[in-house]
Structure 1
Amino acid sequence: MNDAAWWQSAIIYQIYPRSFQDSNGDGIGDLRGIEARLDTLVELGIDAIWISPIFPSPMADFGYDVADYCGIDPRFGTLADFDSLLAAAHARGIKLLLDLVPNHSSDQHPWFVESRSSRDNPKRDWYIWRDPAPDGGPPNNWISDFGGSAWEWDDATGQYYYHAFLKEQPDLNWRNPAVRAAMMDVLRFWFARGIDGFRIDVLWHMVKHADFPDNPVNAEWQPGMPDYMRVHQTHSADQPEIHDIAAEMRQIADAHGARVLIGEIYLPVPDLVRYYGTVDTPGVHLPFNFQLIGAEWDAPALAAMIDAYEAALPPGGWPNWVLGNHDRPRIATRVGAEQARVAMLLLLTLRGTPTLYNGDELGIADVDIPAEQVQDPRELNEPGIGMGRDPVRTPMAWDVGPNASFTSATPWLPLHADWASRNVAVQRGDPASMWRLTQKLLALRRAHPALALGDYHPVAASGALLAYERRLGTDRVLVVLNLGGTPQSFAIPEWAEGLAVVAAAQGGADPALLGPHEGYVLA
């Protein structure tokens, strides 16, 4: 255990800053609000916070359109507020990670303002500009992840620029050494300020095929599916050159001591694990493993998925697991309130580093957003196909005060309907609550080396049961989960017969008979 990096045994907690805590009464969360809630996070038991983008931004995509990589947006506070939050977090033993957005900037970033000013501007090649196709249309068939062509015509200079997301988010040209050097200096700036790592947004998008060929058409696409799925992103993402860039980012992180890089990568596991790099040329420490977010909630399928992921990890590659984030439906919506408790046991007992999204510790479900209150450009661009992200970005509920004490003003998005009973204060006082279950599991990870850093060993189970052992030295822990709605019997292994139930999703009185939606940890 003494050889492990801090992030291997850590629990990372994602904060969506607009929705965490408002300190100045404008209906939007901010840095002072996060600092005010740190003690609650310490009580919960988390080790690190990852904060979604807080850089200056026009907010076309709520911070993922960056206008200055080395500042703080006034909506969230100031650099002094950030330094105060960082110091307060470190004083409590909490690490702090920022969300780096290197694939694209805002169209209001000074770099792009210069780039689009003329074809001969020195920064023209900092972004991706191309002449029209022979018919005058876009240079190729690439589609934005937010729908429509990924190419935007610029009348003033007579060329198209590329944007993998909104037209207000032009992609940087990472094949230009000056862009690469400038962005590496951004990493150095924040590491020198004292942060503990970065989550790197859409890492797999950062390099495009040098010749810009058409992407292959997806023959399985049909109306009702997201527009970007009309083609396979063969040439617009996951290019071989990205691994050299990830390796340089890793060198910078390692040069600053105990830092961590987490890459956002939505790719199949065989492609995902390549982002660990190699022993000689390491990449990011943790390529995000999102499999649980889209997994079939079925015991045999999950068991096979876990085994395949473990087998695919390269030498030295440390696993990680994610149940939810600011982009995908919440776990309580995907599997129901009862199974959400079982899912929390799964997340916090698998081998590897877990990331917990704020609000999932309360069991918050997706929130219905009235049409007139929709904020998300993805939903506004392609309404009705289920890609809107507002339902999972709603404010945290802290207590029974007005607006759950998130804000003294009107919240920027509505709270969940059951916030008066589903909030931190109420659940903190209920030993059977989701918040208390999460707290107990986090404490168990600290108490048991097997849970924090031990090996994963599948245990034979049938029906709707998923069972596995975590083991490190003499410390052994058994986890059994009923992913179904009917009782399931389980033959406890001989080695575990003397162990006690130390945490349970519900029930747990008889480890050999699990009730519906029941799960437990024996230690």
Structure 2
Amino acid sequence: MNRSSIRLVICLFIILVVSNSCKQNNNPQTTTSVQNAEWWKEAIVYQIYPRSFKDSDGDGVGDLKGIIEKLDYIKSLGVTAVWLNPIYSSPNADNGYDVSDYRGIMEEFGTMDDFDALLAGLHERDIKLVLDIVVNHSSDEHEWFKQSRSSRDNPYRDYYHWWPAEKGEPPYRYSLFDPKGDAWQYDSLTNAYYLHYFAKQQPDLNWSNPKVRQEVYDILRFWADKGVDGFRLDAFQFAAKDTTYPEFPDGFEKDFIQYYAMQDGLHDYLKEMNQEVFSKYDVMSVAEGAGRNFDDAHKLVDRDRKELNMAYAFEGVDIPKYEGYELATMKEVFSKWDKEFNKDGWLSIFLANHDQARMVSRWGNDSEAYRSASAKLLNTFILSMRGTPYCYYGDELGMTNIDFDTITQYQDIAAINGYQKALSEGEDMDLFMKKLNFGSRDNGRTPMQWDNSENAGFTLGTPWLPVNPNYIDINVQKENSNPGSVLNHFRELTTLRKQNPVLVYGSYELFAPEHPSIYAYTRTLGDKTLLTLLNFSKESSDISLEVGWAKSPIIINNYNDLQIIDDSIKMKPFQAVILNIN
């Protein structure tokens, strides 16, 4: 090698060292030590309801090949994990949450080869896959239950909860989905009742039976061996039952969680599940629900418990009602959960999922004037809070509730059976329908709005659930080409979160807690502090800041400008801003 070549190599080496040094000095993650860092804490989860995402074969039902068609779109969002609602074989009494074969793929959704292709496609794009696991109950068409109900001495009898009719009526238990509210279903074949906390087609599994537990662990290993990256345990806080069936006081069904959740034995089951499955794989684990109180939640997710990774608590998402909600309540609830888990355990952050109506219709304002701004504001909240963010399909567009006129338009078993129960109890049905129109789960399950063609580009057939008529204006194609759209703002937010570990691991502190319309908080990690300002109002609103804060660099803004007056900021309706104050 001649002298010129040697000098060139040395120069390139120096440039490389200096460049890396600069990158490190500008990256807070390299200057701040983060204890207990985990990929699932840094994940940005995108929830897909498969029936409603993309139909590839024209039968009106979304499927796995449809998701595969849209993998590049999912990648473009900046999300790092996908959570799929159940895709297993099912008669669909509860849209897949009644599983008849845990190792099979629902025929409407495709085949196992399709699943393998989907998993490979996600992994090629550095996106992880989380599956819903429904093992509080199965379908009544599962082979286990068919065997269980065939005779009292069948080996599978104790896979479920049975009450012999000769003992008289079983102690009353409330069912969330039953039109009569009765969780015991009489079965004449063996003259006995079986227990179902949800629909009668969803008999509860008997987790006190070790054989049931081993069956479930084998199922989890089956999917983990395929390369699945995580599991959400649906309704699992109800899996343990008090099989002495004590008498509950009148009205107990109004406090369902208190009497049904976190019963004795549940933590033993989770520790065993962790030891036999989760500890053997690099997988994320989360249970639907966080129990009755903070102590319950900590026992589920604290690191030394060796049970689950994170809590998926509902107190926050349950705040909006038909009558509205108070911002003060939102601040209080999210702040107390963060405070409780600021040292140990980990939370999920979400405002919507498949069991809720649309986020912007519940939390924001879905009118033409404010839908875009308030959708951006809500996404800013989710992606700037501590905890693993869960973003529901369509919320990156600002999709809204659909307006159904009659009960015949609803597909959801909870809505249909709830209507029958309200009717039989003489409720005000006009008011019931208004509340259902606001809060029904079907609102959050309408087909994804891809473009302005027929059926929003979701299907060439008849969609299983009607497409929201506003797809002409709210769709991926239109928002893709608009730099100021909800979609492109969402992409900016995911990029911001991935580039700033302070938004993942930083401490959270509420600012101006008494402000009536602005939710403000700081996120701090090491020497870096960001300030998030969210105006939850259709009116402009002022907020006074600490000296110098107002003139800090703007990290993200859902408007094109920010009005600063000395050390105050005048925020526009539903304006959302993040400032780098240090």
Once the two structures are superposed, residues 475-520 of structure 1 have per-residue CA deviations (whole angstroms, 9 ceiling, x without a partner) of 3211011112322222233463452223223354225111222121
Q: What amino acid is the match of 1:488? A: S
Q: In structure 2, what is the Cα distance between the partners aligned to 1:217 and 1:267?
A: 22
How far 1:286 moved relative to its partner?
Answer: 1.3
Say whether residues 1:366 and 2:401 are aligned partners: yes
1:146 matched to which residue of 2? 177
Q: In structure 2, what is the Cα distance between the partners aligned to 1:398 and 1:425?
A: 6
Contact map agreement 1:133 1:140 (CA 8 A) in 2: no
Q: In structure 2, what is the Cα distance between the partners aligned to 1:425 and 1:464?
A: 33
Map residues 246-261 of structure 1 onto 2, 5 A cutoff. 246-261=270-285
Contact map agreement 1:508 1:518 (CA 8 A) in 2: no
User: Among residues 355, 358, 362, which one is paired with 2:390 in the alignment?
Assistant: 355
Map residues 8-157 of structure 1 onto 2, 5 A cutoff. 8-132=41-165, 136-137=168-169, 139-147=170-178, 148-157=181-190
Contact map agreement 1:115 1:127 (CA 8 A) in 2: yes
Say whether residues 1:244 and 2:268 are aligned partners: yes
User: Among residues 486, 490, 498, which one is paired with 2:543 in the alignment?
Assistant: 490
Q: In structure 1, what is the Cα distance between the partners aligned to 2:382 and 2:316?
A: 9
1:379 matched to which residue of 2? 415
Say whether residues 1:509 and 2:562 are aligned partners: yes
Distance 1:348 1:77, change over 3 A: same
1:439 matched to which residue of 2? 491
Q: In structure 1, what is the Cα distance between the partners aligned to 2:504 and 2:445?
A: 29
Contact map agreement 1:201 1:264 (CA 8 A) in 2: yes
User: Among residues 22, 30, 39, which one is paired with 1:6 in the alignment?
Assistant: 39
Map residues 339-354 of structure 1 onto 2, 5 A cutoff. 339-354=374-389
Once the two structures are superposed, residues 244-265 of structure 1 have per-residue CA deviations (whole angstroms, 9 ceiling, x without a partner) of 2122223345433321011101
Q: Which moved more, 1:333-342 or 1:435-444?
A: 333-342
Q: In structure 1, what is the Cα distance between the partners aligned to 2:403 and 2:204?
A: 32
Q: In structure 2, what is the Cα distance between the partners aligned to 1:121 and 1:256?
A: 33
How far 1:235 moved relative to its partner?
Answer: 4.1
How far 1:152 moved relative to its partner?
Answer: 0.7
Q: What amino acid is the match of 2:575? A: E
Q: In structure 1, what is the Cα distance between the partners aligned to 2:88 and 2:548?
A: 52
Say whether residues 1:518 and 2:575 are aligned partners: yes
Q: What amino acid is the match of 1:212? A: Y
> Alignment partner of 1:89: what SS?
helix
Q: In structure 1, what is the Cα distance between the partners aligned to 2:335 and 2:57?
A: 48
Contact map agreement 1:53 1:99 (CA 8 A) in 2: yes
> Alignment partner of 1:382: what SS?
helix
Q: What amino acid is the match of 2:175? A: S
Q: In structure 2, what is the Cα distance between the partners aligned to 1:271 and 1:295?
A: 21
Once the two structures are superposed, residues 207-241 of structure 1 have per-residue CA deviations (whole angstroms, 9 ceiling, x without a partner) of 1112111232228xxxxxxxx53x64544332031
How far 1:433 moved relative to its partner?
Answer: 1.6
Number of paired residues? 512
Contact map agreement 1:72 1:78 (CA 8 A) in 2: yes
Normalized against structure 2, the TM-score is what? 0.84
Q: In structure 2, what is the Cα distance between the partners aligned to 1:260 and 1:495?
A: 41
What is the root-mean-square deviation of aligned Cα atoms in Å?
2.0
Q: What amino acid is the match of 2:337? A: Y
Map residues 296-335 of structure 1 onto 2, 5 A cutoff. 297-313=325-341, 315-334=343-362, 335=364
How far 1:316 moved relative to its partner?
Answer: 2.7
Map residues 161-310 of structure 1 onto 2, 5 A cutoff. 161-218=194-251, 228-229=253-254, 232=256, 234-265=258-289, 267-270=291-294, 272-295=296-319, 297-310=325-338
> Alignment partner of 2:471: what SS?
coil
Q: Which moved more, 1:411-420 or 1:368-377?
A: 368-377
Q: What amino acid is the match of 2:402? A: V
How far 1:303 moved relative to its partner?
Answer: 2.5
Contact map agreement 1:187 1:252 (CA 8 A) in 2: no
Structure 1 or 2: larger helix share?
2
> Alignment partner of 2:273: what SS?
helix
Distance 1:269 1:465, change over 3 A: farther
The gaps in structure 2 that reach 5 residues or longer are 1-28, 420-428
How far 1:295 moved relative to its partner?
Answer: 2.4
Q: In structure 1, what is the Cα distance between the partners aligned to 2:78 and 2:459?
A: 24
Map residues 418-497 of structure 1 onto 2, 5 A cutoff. 418-460=470-512, 462-494=515-547, 496-497=549-550
Normalized against structure 1, the TM-score is what? 0.93
1:391 matched to which residue of 2? 443
How far 1:133 moved relative to its partner?
Answer: 7.5
Q: What amino acid is the match of 1:400? A: N
Q: In structure 2, what is the Cα distance between the partners aligned to 1:191 and 1:480?
A: 41
Say whether residues 1:410 and 2:462 are aligned partners: yes
How far 1:278 moved relative to its partner?
Answer: 4.2
Q: In structure 1, what is the Cα distance between the partners aligned to 2:392 and 2:61?
A: 18
The gaps in structure 1 that reach 5 residues or longer are 220-227
Q: What amino acid is the match of 2:554? A: V
Q: In structure 2, what is the Cα distance between the partners aligned to 1:436 and 1:360?
A: 12
Distance 1:248 1:315, change over 3 A: farther
> Alignment partner of 1:292: what SS?
coil
Distance 1:38 1:213, change over 3 A: same
Q: In structure 2, what is the Cα distance between the partners aligned to 1:307 and 1:232?
A: 25
Q: Which moved more, 1:384-393 or 1:242-251?
A: 384-393
Q: In structure 2, what is the Cα distance between the partners aligned to 1:162 and 1:486?
A: 51
Distance 1:362 1:292, change over 3 A: farther
Distance 1:133 1:323, change over 3 A: farther
How far 1:293 moved relative to its partner?
Answer: 1.7
How far 1:327 moved relative to its partner?
Answer: 0.9
Distance 1:388 1:266, change over 3 A: farther
Q: In structure 2, what is the Cα distance between the partners aligned to 1:215 and 1:368?
A: 39
> Alignment partner of 2:232: what SS?
strand
Q: In structure 2, what is the Cα distance between the partners aligned to 1:8 and 1:408?
A: 39
Once the two structures are superposed, residues 179-199 of structure 1 have per-residue CA deviations (whole angstroms, 9 ceiling, x without a partner) of 011111111110001000011
Q: In structure 1, what is the Cα distance between the partners aligned to 2:295 and 2:398?
A: 32
Contact map agreement 1:457 1:469 (CA 8 A) in 2: yes
Q: In structure 1, what is the Cα distance between the partners aligned to 2:191 and 2:262?
A: 29
